[in-house]
Amino acid sequence: MSDQTSDPLSNKAQRGEPLLRRSIGTTQLALYALGSMVGSGIYGLIGKATGEAGSAVWLSFLVALCAALLTSLSYASLGSRYPRAGGAAYVTGRAFRVPVVSFVVGLALVASGLTSIATQSKIFATILADMAGLERLSPTFIAAGFLLILGGIVFRGIRESMWVNVLCTLMEVSGLLLVIASGISYWGSVDYFETPPQRADTAFSVIVLQASVLTFFAFIGFEDAVNVAEECKDPERTIPRGLVIATCSAALLYIAVAITAVSVVPWNELATASSPLTEVMRRGAPGIPPGIMTFIALFSVANTALVNYVTASRLIYGMAGQGLLPGPLGRVHATQRTPHIAVLVLLAVALLLVIAGGIADLAAATVLLLLVVFIAVNASLVTLKRRAGEKPGQFEIPIVLPIAGIAVCAGLLLTRLASSDWRAPALAGALIAVILGLYAFLRSKSDIR
């Protein structure tokens, strides 16, 4: 294994190898992170969270913001210290100097990205077939075509990927703003502290906290921003600013949508609605065609898949630069300036997942692994801040914040484990076992050091 504190970028530059193209500014990075968050949660979670917290669901989003900000700030601080494409894999390697830990963290994130790409591709195919009347075509065929187009965009370049991301993110945000606009006149019409009557024997604060476990997952996605660090202009400043702007913007949107939703539709009806935000639109603005939300959902799904594809390819590229994965995976195309081999490998695996099916349980397992990764990232920042000789970044936070981040993520993980069935935890354990097996295999073949 190569020295975990060595600089892969400097090594590549000294060898005269092509590097990734730096073209991302603060606004683009903020939209990149915001698109990942908005696309992954609010459209589906609002109904379930309302069933837990009633009309007080907006408070659960506020609590979830505080929890998400702790880890988001840790990512921002680490990004300003070590702007590397490997993201969590790089900082855990630098902090703990145990290669297998970095390998597990990195591939857990790659697995999360892959399952998301495959899942979103299938959802995209279903929505498109329904909208365009393509029922005769196999959803798997449409999903495979979508994946090929997505792979082509990611291979073409980071500029092209970012422009597609900006378009999709603006569409997603427009959808949420449309929901808010359709129901803002209803604000103030209900008791925003009403909770489900069947939970009358449970303290109000406990109800809100339990629902915040669900709403926290609407914020997952901010971590993707760190993995495009080597393509950011002035990453030491761009990453902290972009992360904070994205997380706070998502929170404002979520809280406003939550207040609007329970104002327009009674919370008990919202909790059972098949498409909660579409129902809000139907009642709040009956003149707007309900199909517009389906159209916007198409952009939301595509954006989530795109962001995860870019993120996973940069993770693999960064890990190869650290010596955690075979060297060819860290190569950059001389013309397109993208990690083309990593992009192609991801395409092949995602296509296999789409064809094989059975992704839902795997996706649930990788959500659990994400919380483990967040704990590791917060612990890395604590370790690095306490280590003598580590150069501080341009965005430093008090050590109490990553410590609090560890506690919050551990609490969310335990709560999630206690409330889910055995399949997701078992699959998460099995996935870690597979990653460890792959590590042992690659080491035995001397593909990694």
Residue given tokens 């704990």 in the structure block: 375
Q: CB neighbours of 52 closer than 8 A, spacing ≥ 6?
A: 60, 196, 207, 210, 211, 214
- What is the predicted pLDDT for the residue at 13? 55
The alpha-helical segments, DSSP class H, found in 157-234 are 158-183, 204-216
Residue 1 lies in a domain: no
Specify whether the CB–CB gap between 104 and 336 falls below 8 A. Answer: no
Domain CATH code at residue 233: 1.20.1740.10
pLDDT tens digits for the chain (449 residues)?
444 445 566 566 556 677 888 999 999 999 999 988 886 567 767 888 899 899 999 999 999 999 899 999 999 999 999 999 888 999 999 999 999 999 999 999 999 889 889 888 988 898 888 888 777 788 889 999 999 999 999 999 999 999 999 999 999 999 999 999 999 999 999 999 999 988 888 889 888 988 888 888 888 888 899 999 999 999 999 999 999 999 999 999 999 999 999 999 999 999 888 788 888 998 998 888 878 888 888 898 899 899 999 999 999 999 998 899 999 999 999 999 999 999 999 999 999 988 887 676 777 787 788 889 999 999 999 999 999 989 899 999 999 999 999 999 998 888 878 765 677 888 888 889 999 999 999 988 876 66
Residue 3 lies in a domain: no
Specify whether the CB–CB gap between 332 and 20 falls below 8 A. Answer: yes
- What is the predicted pLDDT for the residue at 233? 92
Residue 132 lies in a domain: yes
Residue 243 lies in a domain: yes
Number of domain units in the chain: 1
Residue 50 lies in a domain: yes
Instruction: Report the DSSP beta bridge partners of residue 24.
Output: 232
DSSP of 327-380, one letter per residue?
Answer: GGGG---TTT-S-HHHHHHHHHHHHHHHHH---HHHHHHHHHHHHHHHHHHHHH
Specify whether the CB–CB gap between 306 and 165 falls below 8 A. Answer: yes
Domain span holding position 139? 8-444
Q: Could you write out the three-class secondary structure of 19-56?
A: CCCCCECHHHHHHHHHHHHHHHCHHHHHHHHHHHHHHH
DSSP of 375-430, one letter per residue?
Answer: HHHHHHHHHHHHSTTPPP-SS---THHHHHHHHHHHHHHHHHHHHS-SHHHHHHHH
- Considering the entire predicted model, what is its pTM? 0.89
Closest CA to 255 of 245, 247, 265: 247
Specify whether the CB–CB gap between 40 and 218 falls below 8 A. Answer: yes
Residue 175 lies in a domain: yes
Residue 449 lies in a domain: no
HSE-up (13 A, CA, CB side) for residue 222: 32
Q: For residue range 362-373, what is the model confidence (pLDDT) as tens digits?
A: 777 877 888 899
Residue 400 lies in a domain: yes
